[in-house]
Homo-oligomer: A and B are copies of this chain.
Amino acid sequence: MAVKKLRPIRWNGGIVYLLEQRDLPFHEKWVKCDTVEKVAKAIEEMTVRGAPAIGITAAYGVALGAVRSKNKNASVFEKEVKKAISRLRRTRPTAVNLFWALDRMEECLKAVSVLPIAEQKRALEKEAIDIHLEDEALCNRLGEHGGRLLEKAKNVLTHCNTGALATGGDGTALAAITHAARKNKKLHVWVDETRPYLQGARLTAYEVAHAGIDFHLITDNMAASLMKQKKVDAIIVGADRIVANGDTANKIGTYALAVMAKAHGIPFYVSAPTTTLDLIKKNGDEIEIEQRNPKEVTHPQGIAIAKESYPVYNPAFDVTPGKLITAIILETGVCRSPYQKSLRQALATAKKESM
């Protein structure tokens, strides 16, 4: 099956083009960013979202600032690029990948500062492209490992958004689905809407439709009934944080799916890069859960479905115990229980590879 790739971040001749994610799935509008400020605004205003995608966009923002600079004086040029980096740093204060990418661009700048400006520009452009390509390669590895687990599945269920819109490649959990779909043209996906923020309905359905994979959109509370009817062969989700025993924090609703998968004997997979591993934490009790704005619940897409004055409980994440997870797919391979051992080994492998 020819699965169409989606690439929402594009670098072309010193300009960053971003697919306006706030207009999805209704309009495919490209935002042209030809200044650092436009890139910063696009990150702040969520034209682009998803941790890896934000990091890649910020790196391109630095490259853009360098490449388009008209300064001929080396120290003024350096100041200008540093100013671009600090502007981009102020866009999303809690985005780990953002700082990681900007630190890397800053290190690159430092490393090439003795070279002529033209070469510095080339180096910074190459560094940003590398960050993007590395993430694409990471997604491919996640997709290959995960895809093998889904090759025989007819119906796969996924939650939240883990595809091309959030990363530099095919995504994490969704990469497994797109990779499996290339070999298994009968693959069908159940995309749950993922309340409260509707990432499934707004973004994953768009990604799956764009890829040309057969799917149905469902509300979150329909999954159990499908499992009972034997219409779900596997579930695959992403992760925000995975601790030593495999306990996994991910978008609210993940734990419910894992409990139901267990009750129905359905494999439950998590796919994430090794950067998601936080092995200093022993178990999920140590993960703090962020409470989010009640209006996400009472006003989906800004439209009131309940009174704003109603008390609301709105946790961003829940924690799925490692013992409910059939396998954790990392770019280094597939980890299984006991996770204390397999995740430590995977992290050691990843560190060795990156040296």
Q: Flag whether A221 is at the interface (Cβ < 8 A).
A: yes
Q: Flag whether A209 is at the interface (Cβ < 8 A).
A: yes
Is the Cβ of B25 less than 8 Å from the Cβ of A306? yes
Residues of B within 8 A of A202 (CB): 305-306
Residues of B within 8 A of A312 (CB): 216-218
Q: Flag whether A219 is at the interface (Cβ < 8 A).
A: yes
Residues of B within 8 A of A280 (CB): none
Mask: chain A, 242-277; 1 = CB below 8 Å from B; 0 = not? 000000000011011001101100000000000000
Is the Cβ of A222 less than 8 Å from the Cβ of B253? yes
Q: Flag whether A307 is at the interface (Cβ < 8 A).
A: yes
With the chains together, A202 CA to B25 CA distance in Å?
26
- Those of A102-131 within 8 Å (CB) of chain B: none
Q: Flag whether A318 is at the interface (Cβ < 8 A).
A: yes
Residues of B within 8 A of A304 (CB): 26, 301
Q: Flag whether A201 is at the interface (Cβ < 8 A).
A: yes
Residues of B within 8 A of A93 (CB): none
Mask: chain A, 20-53; 1 = CB below 8 Å from B; 0 = not? 0000011000000000000000000000000000
Residues of B within 8 A of A226 (CB): 313
Is the Cβ of B252 less than 8 Å from the Cβ of A259? no
List 9 tightest A-B contacts by C-beta distance, closest first: A221-B253, A224-B256, A225-B318, A195-B219, A220-B221, A201-B306, A216-B313, A303-B303, A216-B311
Q: What are 20 pairs between A and B in contact, CB < 8 Å?
A: A25-B307, A195-B195, A196-B219, A201-B297, A201-B305, A217-B298, A217-B312, A217-B313, A218-B297, A219-B252, A221-B221, A222-B315, A222-B318, A224-B253, A224-B255, A225-B256, A226-B313, A228-B319, A256-B256, A263-B263
